[in-house]
Amino acid sequence: MATSAAVEKQVRTLDEATVRFCGDSGDGMQLAGTQFTNTSALVGNDIATFPDFPAEIRAPQGTLAGVSGFQVHFSSKDIYTPGDTVDALVAMNPAALATNLVDLRAGGILIVNSDAFESKGLDQAGYETNPLENDSLKNYRLYPVAMTKLTRAAVDGLELSQKEKDRCRNFFAMGLVFWLYDRPLEPTQRYIDDKFGKKPEIAQANTAALKAGYHYGETVEAINTQYHVPKAKLAPGKYTSIVGNTAVAYGLMAAARLSGKRLFLGAYPITPASSILEELARHKNFDVLTFQAEDEIAAMAATVGAAFAGAMAVTASSGPGIALKGEAMGLAVMTELPMVIVNVQRGGPSTGLPTKTEQADLYQAVFGRNGECPMPVLAASSPADCFDAAQEAWRIAVRYMTPVMLLTDGYIANGSEPWRIPKLSELKKIEIMHPGPSVNGDKFLPYKRDERLARPWALPGTAGLEHRIGGLEKQDITGNVSYDAANHQHMISLRATKVEKVVNDIPPQKLDGPPSGDLLVLSWGGTYGACATAVHNVQAKGKAVTHCHLRWLNPLPKDLGDILKRFKKVVIPELNLGQLRTIIRAKYLIDAVGLNKVQGKPFSVGEVVDKIEALLKGDAKDTEAKAEPIDKKAPAKAVLEKVAHGG
Amino acid sequence: MTVELPVLKPADFASDQDVRWCPGCGDYAILAQMKKVMPNLGIPREKIVFISGIGCSSRFPYYMNTYGMHSIHGRAPAVATGLKCVRPDLHVWVITGDGDGLSIGGNHLMHAIRRNLDLNIVLFNNRIYGLTKGQYSPTSPLGKKTKSTPMGAIDNPLHPLSVAIGCECTFVARSIDTEIKHLGEVLTRAAKHPGTSFVEVYQNCHVFNDGAWAYAKERESKADTTLELVHGKPLIFGKNRDKGIRLNGMDPEVVELGKGVSEDDLLFHDEKAPEPSLAYLLSRMRHEDGFPEPIGVFRAVEAPQYDAMINDQVTQATNERGVGDIDKLFASGDTWDVA
């Protein structure tokens, strides 16, 4: 690393910072964000990320619809969210500036590729005049950088087309931001060598652009301060940066190993769940079978078949796919076979917002099948937590012989955080019993239950246990088809009771804050980070508020009813219109208040803080989070107006 | 020391459940043949699994004393796919019908066939929805009047074997519920075929569509309306075996033997033809167009099987990279230590 700065620069130490890279979806912003994240993790910061990209792979270049962004929050303290506002914004074109400026804090660093601010680009972004040339950006520390020209100069002489040369711009931007936040280039250099090893010209060009960006930061006089964010104090251990979907895949693989099973994944490609299929497909030498089915229905049906065959059977999808799987999930409930159904929730209904996050599939998970069709449901709270939640899902599935649904969401599926890598030997074994061959010729009773009401998992190939299962109502104990009225009522109750018994495996609910008081914040799933941070912020101001975050949504923890009664008010922040709130109100008859947001985005900490403070002041109405201006024709104008009004 | 397998009889394959098809249903004959075929395969009973969807035919697994699953409408091929991928050692049958297999489950049937999983699919074709009491099915003829088509069906029927051949099925055959010897032989061959075998059985629903296959089943007419395929032999049919099928350009035609036409002029059956064109041509021969409808094995070729390949990839990956080490995997990529 070059250390001799040509210009005298100050170094300031910060507790934390948030950076966002944004540009056209072809500008490589996801890569820039990922590299910055990994490097920040490697230097020992705590991290939380928020990749945000359009559903279109390549919307028309330069348009507002095509803007892709990646936000990284890195810190020397524990953090749980990618940050409400941005300290430094890198905008590769006018459209990216127009759509992202709103999140840059006043006085924040704004680095723009000034070469992209020409008439066409400005026009597409809705700018009538060039914002770099008037004083509309005066509230920010604006650094216009001729990134296109500088990148071209850096790669000059390499045998590459103009297009290929320009594609290195994201590495220039990375290099500059790496300098700005005092990050090493080596991890990115390793990435380049690894990724482009077979294309040495491209590797060379990216390296040159990366270094040019870094040196530009070092030498250009305008940028006179470098920032340093020290290491975070994490628990001792070996760490890596992990995204939620990889953590799900790893958790499933660990669970398969811990239970001595082959892992079978039946899946159909769907955003934002596909990378679970892709990750598992890479690990066939772990006895992992991945079946890309012809559709979601087949993926679920094959999962049922694989469960019958004796594998650890899993399917992974998102809302629209889960809807298609509904009937086969009913078969799984009726046949009482263990399997895991992962729903990486996205914005709905219908196709909805495929690349955006939401928590609106809770009703679907708990109730969304025909008939009385109970299924245990749990939700992961963060990217790394997906690893534990996946194992937990399988443990419950086999203990109770039931399909289990694991909810995650687009935000934690794509977001990353540091993960303390466990040793396989530290993880709890998952015991599974299969009945052996019949020796005395007694008739096998496939629906005879143990104390948990779980039926035996008898595998095809076991002599003497031949039996037939299916979707028709079962006679208790024998499993034969039965249309008997009393038997149906009995079986419906049995299946419901069995799922309720899962509560015995749910540990007492943890509370963050006093055990009773004025206000309880009750949350579930991927909103953990925002809610935990908001509660900590309010607690730090000396106010009494308690946080209760649910892992299990069905059944709910045994002690939840008592906990709820100990608080005067309960607020439930959710990225839906109040689905957990409805369930809580119905089950515990308490008047819970909602904070509800359905904008395809996670909660900001500020939104939850505001709600908590309003409730502490006595305002007990349900609220919906405020949306940003929806006038997409002139967002730049709206943003400029907001800026002009000091927003 | 060798362990002698117990000698099983057809009765050993009967479950303890009462069979509840309507008296006189063609399904009884198919069930009886299946029970007869099973002991001769030399496969232990516990290794055999029957998977079905929904419909009259799909009750079949309940009546076989093997492993079985009566799954959901149309999805049996997909359930069987998951089962067979995980356990290629099992001998798996899929029992379906014309509605279950070709309508609601058409997609799964098509994909199971093109993957050439080692499954035996038997489609009971009665050209009607029986279990829902008499609506037209995807194999009902045009103009068919049923409860849901009081003015006659207006959609073109599907022909199951043409569909299977279109999906590159490696074993395609047809038989008739009442031709019990022939049916037994076809099921036996299907069972022994490596890869997907697809058997269409003309099956009579005497409650809702009685006589749909009368032309192919009645003693007086069947010799003239059906043609038994024999590999390597000319296509000859008729009570007096005096008619045959000859190719005229790309099209088959019915000719009378003698009168200048000899057996050598006829189309010879070749079930092992690598191209499915001949099998497809045979599947297009219809009674309504004046052709005898072939029964027997249309096509029997070998091709790689999905269930074997998905497991071969596991073996190959394991040979190349060793048995996966979880600790190593989790610690791969960029990591850092916190003391």
**Does B294 share its domain with B194?**
yes
Confidence label for A189 from pLDDT (cuts 50, 70 and 90): very high
**Does B120 share its domain with B249?**
no
Query: Which residues on chain A are in Cβ contact (under 8 Å) with B313?
Result: 284
CA pseudo-torsion sign B308, B313, B316, B317: negative
**Does B174 share its domain with B262?**
no
Whichever domain contains B21, its CATH number is 3.40.50.970
The mean pLDDT value for A483-512 works out to: 98
Confidence label for A628 from pLDDT (cuts 50, 70 and 90): low
Better-predicted residue by pLDDT, A58 or B62: B62
Would you state the pLDDT for residue A6? 55
Distance CA A207, CA A212 (A): 8
Percent of chain B with pLDDT over 90: 96
Under DSSP, the state recorded for B54 is: S
Distance CA B195, CA B304 (A): 7
Q: What is the number of structural domains in chain B?
A: 2
Confidence label for A2 from pLDDT (cuts 50, 70 and 90): very low
The mean pLDDT value for A145-170 works out to: 96
CB within 8 Å of B174: residues ≥ 6 apart = B161, B186, B199, B200, B201, B202, B293, B294, B295, B296, B298
A:B CB pairs within 8 Å = 210
Distance CA A192, CA A171 (A): 10
Instruction: Inspect the interface and report whether the beta carbons of A461 and B327 lie closer than 8 Å.
Output: no
**Does B31 share its domain with B117?**
yes
Would you state the pLDDT for residue B3? 59
In a domain, B328, yes or no: no
**Does B141 share its domain with B129?**
yes
In a domain, B5, yes or no: no
Confidence label for A1 from pLDDT (cuts 50, 70 and 90): very low
The mean pLDDT value for B111-134 works out to: 97
Query: Which residues on chain B are in Cβ contact (under 8 Å) with A238?
Result: 331, 335-338
Query: Which residues on chain A are in Cβ contact (under 8 Å) with B65?
Result: 466
**Does B295 share its domain with B256?**
no
**Does B242 share its domain with B287?**
no
Confidence label for A188 from pLDDT (cuts 50, 70 and 90): very high
Would you state the pLDDT for residue B2? 58
pLDDT exceeds 80 at position A257: yes
pLDDT exceeds 60 at position A410: yes
pLDDT exceeds 80 at position A4: no
Would you state the pLDDT for residue A622? 83
Cis amide bond preceding A349, omega within 30? yes
A250 to chain B nearest CA, in Å? 8
**Which of B89, B323, B330 is opposite residue A461, by nearest beta carbon?**
B89
**Does B24 share its domain with B159?**
yes
The mean pLDDT value for A143-171 works out to: 96
Instruction: Inspect the interface and report whether the beta carbons of A468 and B68 lie closer than 8 Å.
Output: yes
Would you state the pLDDT for residue A626? 75
Confidence label for B339 from pLDDT (cuts 50, 70 and 90): confident
The answer to whether A256 and A286 are in contact (CB under 8 A) is yes
Instruction: Inspect the interface and report whether the beta carbons of B71 and A331 lie closer than 8 Å.
Output: yes
pLDDT exceeds 90 at position A641: no
Average predicted confidence (pLDDT) for chain A: 94
Q: β-strand A237-243 against B335-338: which pairing, if any? A: antiparallel
Instruction: Inspect the interface and report whether the beta carbons of A471 and B79 lie closer than 8 Å.
Output: no
Under DSSP, the state recorded for B268 is: B
Domains of chain A: 10-228 (3.40.920.10), 239-424 (3.40.50.970), 511-624 (3.40.50.920)
Would you state the pLDDT for residue A58? 79
B119 to chain A nearest CA, in Å? 13
The mean pLDDT value for A403-419 works out to: 97
Radius of gyration of chain A (CA): 27
**Does B264 share its domain with B117?**
no
Distance CA A83, CA A95 (A): 22
CB within 8 Å of A319: residues ≥ 6 apart = A343, A345, A346, A348, A349, A352, A360, A361, A364
The mean pLDDT value for A252-259 works out to: 98
How much of chain B is helix, strand and coil, in % rounded to 5? 35, 20, 45
Confidence label for A634 from pLDDT (cuts 50, 70 and 90): very low
pLDDT in tens, A460-485: 999 999 999 999 999 999 999 999 99
**Does B115 share its domain with B260?**
no
Instruction: Inspect the interface and report whether the beta carbons of B335 and A287 lie closer than 8 Å.
Output: no
Instruction: Inspect the interface and report whether the beta carbons of A305 and B70 lie closer than 8 Å.
Output: no
pLDDT exceeds 70 at position A225: yes
Chain A residue with Cα closest to B105: A298
Instruction: Select from B51, B56, B75 the residue whose CB has the most chain A CBs within 10 Å, as the one to mutate to test that interface.
Output: B75
pLDDT in tens, A52-78: 888 888 788 899 999 999 999 999 999
Would you state the pLDDT for residue A624? 82
Nearest alpha carbon to residue A385 among A352, A417, A360: A417
The answer to whether B60 and B93 are in contact (CB under 8 A) is no
**Which of B70, B85, B330 is opposite residue A306, by nearest beta carbon?**
B85
pLDDT in tens, A583-598: 999 999 999 999 999 9
pLDDT exceeds 70 at position A642: no
B135 to chain A nearest CA, in Å? 22
Confidence label for A631 from pLDDT (cuts 50, 70 and 90): very low
Better-predicted residue by pLDDT, B4 or A503: A503
In a domain, B313, yes or no: no
- Least confident residue range of A101-105, A430-434, A436-440, B206-210: A436-440
Distance CA A174, CA A27 (A): 12
Bridge partner list, B335:
A240
The mean pLDDT value for A124-135 works out to: 95
Instruction: Inspect the interface and report whether the beta carbons of B324 and A234 lie closer than 8 Å.
Output: no
Instruction: Inspect the interface and report whether the beta carbons of A285 and B67 lie closer than 8 Å.
Output: no
Instruction: Inspect the interface and report whether the beta carbons of B72 and A460 lie closer than 8 Å.
Output: no
Alpha carbon distances (Å) from B221 to A286, A514, B213, B226: 60, 88, 11, 9
**Which of B66, B85, B316 is opposite residue A291, by nearest beta carbon?**
B85
**Which of B15, B62, B78 is opposite residue A302, by nearest beta carbon?**
B78
Query: Which residues on chain A are in Cβ contact (under 8 Å) with B336?
Result: 41-44, 238-240
Q: β-strand B171-176 against B197-202: which pairing, if any? A: parallel
Under DSSP, the state recorded for A117 is: -
Structural domain that includes position B132: 10-228+270-308
pLDDT exceeds 70 at position A5: no
Query: Which residues on chain A are in Cβ contact (under 8 Å) with B330?
Result: 240, 250, 421-422
Average predicted confidence (pLDDT) for chain B: 96
Confidence label for A640 from pLDDT (cuts 50, 70 and 90): very low
Query: Which residues on chain A are in Cβ contact (under 8 Å) with B49?
Result: 460
Chain B residue with Cα closest to A468: B68
Confidence label for A638 from pLDDT (cuts 50, 70 and 90): very low
pLDDT in tens, A319-348: 999 999 999 999 999 999 999 999 999 999
**Does B275 share its domain with B301?**
yes
Would you state the pLDDT for residue B158? 97
In a domain, B1, yes or no: no
**Does B139 share its domain with B280?**
yes
B48 to chain A nearest CA, in Å? 8
Q: Which amino acid belongs to residue A124?
A: Q
Percent of chain A with pLDDT over 70: 96
In a domain, B329, yes or no: no
Q: Is B237 helix (H, G, I), strand (E, B) or coil?
A: strand
- Least confident residue range of A5-14, A100-109, A561-570: A5-14
Instruction: Inspect the interface and report whether the beta carbons of A187 and B334 lie closer than 8 Å.
Output: yes
Would you state the pLDDT for residue A494? 98
pLDDT in tens, A541-556: 999 999 999 999 999 9
Better-predicted residue by pLDDT, A576 or A8: A576
